[in-house]
């Protein structure tokens, strides 16, 4: 297959990327959408990329939960799980919620706590400590909970916890999860998981909070048949949206509706924990998917990474303003501490991976004393730097706890499961894009060699030079608040739905000025009397800063995302720069 021509002729940009634009087929689809809708060409380009048909474009722009929500009963054991939870509510039984310590687990737990509170019931929340207990249910904790409760609901975990669930002999256990299941399931009254091996995978893109939401839909349906009026579930979609984005679930199908509607709920600022955390993070505009993934999510995760494991769930579930303020303040401080710890581990991991060589199908690093709470983030950064699946392992004694992140098209979770079955890992699990593992120190090299082999069989390492995919070109005058709003309507953007990226060709650079230590702001001039503000975060941590500063009064091709800058009560469009290149016909 012939490789498409480089967009604007950029074979190697300032960041060493090859720019790739839409192909002929996508351009034709965008034109067909424009003829049918008269939407701006830039918006039509995004719809064409999503393979939207011209006749369904308007429906796509207004995703309806009513139209996209699947029947919860399509998932195995869903009816059983909902019936048992409703029975525990009506029978005033003792309920415990065992949740994972990440954002998805926190949101899943808060969903259940909110729903139970609306029905006048409470539950014991249990979130394991990452350092002393590790991921998922463990036998001692489950046995203790079973002695004091009638029902244990495991959220965002439990599908592979055979020994732990078997220890809960005194209570019924319901699992609401989305991680890959094994050939056999652990003993439980019900395991609701779209990624069980006996499911068809049609809802495999749901995060755990999405599964919990469907459970509550079914429980409300059953409750109405018994004369029980459940709460309005639409008010809980802020939690589902946050989990969906933070857990990097594909923004396809019902997930688009979850996030779109959830952002509207979040904008109402009715949840004390999210409102307070947003204020502390200085989020001064309507929330977007970006804010969920990069502003709110990391702060909620900070508790599970280096602080109180249950702090995120409690922040999201509380209705007490003072408690929300205390939790949010503490999580913000922990997030600052997390960034410092993570930066040190990331630098060490990258140096080690580079020494080992980054031409392997797998980039990996392991170190003594690395904080287990930040290795997932470090793995994500290593993946981004090498454009390969990456694993980072924290060693302590004879054991290593690792976290991995993958690239599109490479199923890391399946490979990890394979290594567990082959006896090369002590434990492991996850999904396509992220996984965790436990490995013996003396088996580390063999396990990583085998993992690299399995990933190579899926095509890892064959990506070639990293490319920057662009959706077309714009002139400064076309970037208006109206266009940005229309592009947002084609979202939300995230996993499997990248944010729109456009090039601005042959822009004259005007008045570049440094902001703080690393950022850069300037204005670009299209030569037709139109100008656009440009912001480049971290510019001087890369070649972009020096290049732009040196091009004052000269031309550059620019590439990035268009957005609205909110400042001093004004809203002005700007380009958030991600890359730049010197035009081939200039010096």
| Domain-embedded: residue 18 | no
If you ran DSSP here, which 8-state letter would residue 397 be given?
A: T
**Residue 548 is part of a domain; what is its CATH number?**
2.40.50.460
| Domain-embedded: residue 131 | yes
What tens digit of pLDDT does each residue of 260-287 get? 999 999 999 999 999 999 999 998 888 9
- Over residues 60-70, the mean pLDDT reads 94
pLDDT of residue 465: 58
Higher-scoring residue by pLDDT: 28, 385: 28
**Residue 385 is part of a domain; what is its CATH number?**
3.10.310.30
Residues 129 and 221 in one domain: yes
Residues 157 and 258 in one domain: yes
Last residue of a domain, one of 436, 457, 478: 457
Q: Yes or no: say if 513 and 506 are a contact pair by the CB < 8 Å rule.
A: no
Q: Which residues contact 203 (CB under 8 A, 6 or more apart)?
A: 70, 74, 75, 194
Residues 128 and 183 in one domain: yes
Q: Yes or no: say if 586 and 576 are a contact pair by the CB < 8 Å rule.
A: no
pLDDT of residue 185: 96
Q: Yes or no: say if 406 and 459 are a contact pair by the CB < 8 Å rule.
A: no
Phi, psi of 198 (to 5 degrees): -95, 10
What domain count does the chain have?
Answer: 3
**Strand 124-126 with 95-99, pairing:** parallel
Residues 450 and 494 in one domain: no
**3-state class of 20 per DSSP?**
strand
Give me the torsion for CA of 77, 78, 82, 83, rounded to 10°.
-40
Residues 427 and 524 in one domain: no
**Strand 434-440 with 399-405, pairing:** antiparallel
| Domain-embedded: residue 463 | no
| Domain-embedded: residue 35 | no
Which domain does 401 fall in, by range? Answer: 357-457
pLDDT higher than 90, residue 303:
no
Q: What is the C-alpha separation between 169 and 60, in angstroms, rounded?
A: 48
| pLDDT band, residue 3 (cuts 50/70/90) | low
* Percent of the chain predicted with pLDDT > 90: 86
pLDDT of residue 1: 43
Last residue of a domain, one of 399, 429, 457: 457
- Over residues 50-75, the mean pLDDT reads 95
| Domain-embedded: residue 550 | yes
pLDDT higher than 50, residue 488:
yes
Residues 370 and 491 in one domain: no
Residues 293 and 174 in one domain: yes
- Over residues 396-421, the mean pLDDT reads 93
Of 303-317, 319-333, 431-445, 451-465, least confident by mean pLDDT is: 451-465
Residues 161 and 290 in one domain: yes
Q: Which residues contact 176 (CB under 8 A, 6 or more apart)?
A: 81, 108, 153, 154, 155, 156, 192, 193, 208, 211, 212, 215
| pLDDT band, residue 5 (cuts 50/70/90) | confident
Question: In the chain, what is the greatest distance between 2 CA atoms, to the nearest angstrom?
Answer: 78
Of 56-70, 133-147, 163-177, 300-314, least confident by mean pLDDT is: 300-314
Residues 521 and 433 in one domain: no
Q: Which residues contact 356 (CB under 8 A, 6 or more apart)?
A: 364, 365
pLDDT of residue 359: 81
Length of the chain: 587
| Domain-embedded: residue 574 | yes
Average pLDDT of the chain to the nearest whole number? 94
Residue 22 sits at the vertex; the CA angle it makes with 16 and 28, to the nearest 5 degrees, is 170
Query: What is this structure's pTM?
Result: 0.86
Give me the torsion for CA of 405, 406, 407, 411, rounded to 10°.
-160
What tens digit of pLDDT does each residue of 103-135 get? 999 999 999 999 999 999 999 999 999 888 888
Residues 534 and 558 in one domain: yes
Tell me the chain's radius of gyration from C-alpha atoms.
24
CA atoms within 13 A on the CB side of 199: 25
Q: Yes or no: say if 158 and 175 are a contact pair by the CB < 8 Å rule.
A: yes
Q: What is the C-alpha separation between 27 and 500, in angstroms, rounded?
A: 15
Burial class of 369 by CB neighbour count within 10 A (0 to 12, 13 to 18, 19+): exposed
pLDDT of residue 85: 98
| pLDDT band, residue 586 (cuts 50/70/90) | low
Q: What is the C-alpha separation between 563 and 561, in angstroms, rounded?
A: 6
Residues 177 and 296 in one domain: yes
Last residue of a domain, one of 332, 348, 377: 332
- Over residues 331-342, the mean pLDDT reads 92
Q: What is the C-alpha separation between 163 and 140, in angstroms, rounded?
A: 10
| pLDDT band, residue 463 (cuts 50/70/90) | low
Residues 474 and 428 in one domain: no
What tens digit of pLDDT does each residue of 149-189 get? 999 999 999 999 999 999 999 999 999 999 989 889 999 99
| Domain-embedded: residue 240 | yes
If you ran DSSP here, which 8-state letter would residue 151 be given?
A: E
| Domain-embedded: residue 581 | yes
């Amino acid at each position: 297959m012939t490789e498409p021509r480089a967009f604007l002729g950029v074979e190697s940009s300032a960041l060493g990327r090859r720019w790739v634009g839409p192909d002929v087929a996508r351009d034709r689809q965008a034109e067909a959408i424009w003829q049918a809708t008269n939407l701006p060409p830039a918006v039509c380009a995004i719809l064409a990329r999503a393979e939207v048909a011209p006749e369904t474009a308007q429906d796509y722009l207004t995703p309806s939960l009513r139209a996209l929500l699947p029947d919860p009963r399509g998932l195995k054991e869903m009816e059983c799980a909902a019936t048992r939870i409703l029975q525990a509510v009506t029978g005033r039984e003792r309920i415990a919620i065992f949740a994972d310590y990440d954002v998805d687990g926190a949101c899943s737990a808060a969903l259940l706590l909110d729903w139970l509170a609306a029905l006048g019931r409470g539950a014991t929340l249990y979130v394991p400590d990452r350092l002393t207990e590790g991921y998922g249910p463990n036998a001692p904790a489950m046995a203790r909970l079973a002695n004091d409760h009638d029902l244990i609901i495991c959220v965002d975990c439990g599908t592979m916890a055979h020994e732990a669930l078997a220890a809960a002999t005194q209570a019924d256990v319901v699992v609401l999860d989305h991680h890959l299941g094994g050939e056999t399931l652990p003993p439980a009254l019900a395991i609701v998981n779209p990624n069980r091996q006996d499911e068809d995978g049609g809802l495999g893109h749901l995060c755990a909070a999405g599964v919990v939401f469907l459970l509550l839909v079914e429980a409300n349906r059953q409750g109405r048949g018994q004369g029980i009026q459940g709460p309005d579930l639409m008010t809980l979609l802020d939690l589902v949206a946050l989990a969906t984005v933070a857990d990097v679930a594909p923004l396809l199908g019902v997930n688009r509706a979850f996030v779109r509607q959830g952002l509207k709920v979040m904008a109402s600022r009715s949840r004390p924990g999210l409102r307070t955390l947003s204020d502390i993070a200085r989020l001064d505009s309507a929330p977007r998917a970006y804010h969920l993934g990069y502003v709110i999510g990391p702060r909620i995760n900070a508790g599970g990474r280096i602080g109180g494991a249950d702090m995120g769930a409690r922040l999201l579930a509380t209705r007490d303003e003072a408690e929300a303020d205390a939790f949010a303040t503490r999580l913000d401080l922990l997030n600052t501490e997390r960034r410092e710890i993570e930066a040190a581990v990331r630098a060490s991991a990258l140096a080690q991976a580079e020494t080992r060589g980054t031409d392997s199908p797998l980039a990996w690093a392991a170190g003594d004393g690395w904080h287990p709470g930040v290795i997932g983030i470090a793995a994500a950064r290593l993946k981004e730097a090498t454009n390969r699946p990456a694993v980072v392992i924290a060693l302590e004694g004879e054991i290593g706890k690792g976290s991995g992140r993958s690239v599109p098209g490479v199923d890391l979770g399946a490979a990890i499961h394979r290594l567990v079955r082959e006896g090369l890992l002590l434990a492991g699990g996850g999904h396509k894009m992220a996984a965790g593992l436990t490995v013996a120190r003396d088996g580390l090299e063999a396990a990583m060699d085998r993992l690299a082999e399995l990933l190579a069989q899926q095509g890892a390492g064959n990506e070639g030079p990293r490319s920057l995919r662009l959706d077309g070109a714009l002139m400064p005058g076309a970037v208006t608040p109206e266009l940005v709003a229309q592009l947002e309507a084609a979202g939300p953007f995230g996993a499997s739905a990248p944010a729109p990226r456009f090039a601005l060709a042959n822009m004259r650079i005007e008045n570049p000025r440094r902001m703080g230590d690393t950022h850069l702001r300037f204005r670009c001039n299209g030569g037709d009397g139109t100008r656009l503000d440009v912001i480049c975060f971290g510019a001087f941590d890369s070649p972009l800063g020096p290049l732009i500063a040196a091009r004052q009064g000269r031309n550059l091709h620019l590439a990035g995302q268009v957005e609205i800058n909110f400042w001093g009560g004004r809203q002005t469009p700007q380009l958030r720069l991600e890359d730049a290149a010197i035009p081939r016909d200039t010096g």
